Structure 1
Amino acid sequence: MDFNTNIFEQYDKKWALLTAGDKNSFNTMTISWGGFGTIWNKPVATVYVRTNRYTHEFMDNNEYFTVSFYPEDYKKTLGVLGSKSGRDMDKMKDSGLTPREVENGMTFAEAEVTFVCRKLMCQPLEPSNMNPDIAEQFYGKEAQHDMFIGEVVEIIR
């Protein structure tokens, strides 16, 4: 598996879709926090999901998830997918994206690259363990994030 990029821009500048579930029931959301690296001698992707997000339920209930990145002209679509909840509407219907089943998950035909990840760990990010300025800025009145670490088992281009 090879993947070459400016790793610091991948999540922050391009954004991504985090998707969990299968062709019968899945949800996706836009993420701009995350990372790639190694832990436990495995290549991993790390993503963060607020506990009150609909996608969190799918992350909890599935062994795999995907992280997919898109060309710049999909940024508006990703903005909508990150601001609307699949609990309240069919986000896929209006997104213009084409769901694509892959082994162990779902992605979209328009993705430039998709990382298929096997969930290894979920850990709450406790505001009491953070720098107080960060805790106040990001969690004053908001639900906390859980950190998910997934082993990258496949890269699809």
Structure 2
Amino acid sequence: MEFTTDILSVFDKKWALLTAGKEDSFNTMTISWGGLGTIWNKPVATVYVRTSRYTHDFMDANEFFTVSFYPEECKKTLGVLGSKSGRDIDKMKESGLTPVKTGESMSFKEAEVTLVCKKLFKQKLEESNMPADIAKAMYEGQASHDMYIGEIVEIIR
């Protein structure tokens, strides 16, 4: 497997979609926090999901998820998918993206690259383990994040 990218900006500047679920029931959300690397001798993607997000339920209920990256012209669509909840609207209809079954999960035809990930680990980010200024800025009055680490089992271009 090979994936070449600017690892320090692929999430923060370009954004990505995190998708979990099966063909008959899935949800997607835009993410700008994440990482790529190696743990336990496996290539992995690490993503962070607020416990209040609809996608969180799908992450917990499924063994696989995808992280997909898009061309610049999709950034407006990714903005919508990151600001609206699948609990409230039909995000697929609103997005105009074309869902495709990808391994044991879902992605979208418009993706430049999709990482198919098998969930290995989940842990709550504890505010007590963070610098006070970060905890206050990121979590005061807001739901916490869970960190998910997934083994990258396939890269689809």
TM-score tier after normalising by the smaller chain length:
over 0.9
Rounded Cα–Cα distance in structure 1 between residues aligned with 2:103 and 2:136: 40
The residue aligned with 1:29 is 29
The residue aligned with 2:72 is 72
Rounded Cα–Cα distance in structure 2 between residues aligned with 1:24 and 1:6: 34
The residue aligned with 2:115 is 115
The residue aligned with 2:90 is 90
Give unmatched runs, 5+ long, in structure 1: none
Residue identity opposite 1:126 in structure 2: E
SS in 2 for 1:21: strand
Q: How does 1:6-155 map to 2 (within 5 A)?
A: 6-155=6-155
- CA shift for structure 1 position 82: 0.3
Rounded Cα–Cα distance in structure 2 between residues aligned with 1:5 and 1:23: 28
Residue identity opposite 1:87 in structure 2: R
Deviations 1:3-61 (A, max 9, x none): 11110110011100000001100000000000000000100000000001000000000
Residue identity opposite 2:107 in structure 1: T
| Ranges of 4+ aligned residues in structure 1 off by more than 6 Å | none
TM-score, reference length from structure 2: 0.99
Residue identity opposite 1:59 in structure 2: M
Rounded Cα–Cα distance in structure 1 between residues aligned with 2:95 and 2:150: 26
Rounded Cα–Cα distance in structure 1 between residues aligned with 2:49 and 2:94: 23
Deviations 1:82-130 (A, max 9, x none): 0000001101001010001111110000000000000001000011110
Rounded Cα–Cα distance in structure 1 between residues aligned with 2:103 and 2:5: 24
Residue identity opposite 1:101 in structure 2: K
% of aligned pairs identical? 72
SS in 1 for 2:12: helix
After superposition, the CA RMSD in angstroms is: 0.4
TM-score, reference length from structure 1: 0.99
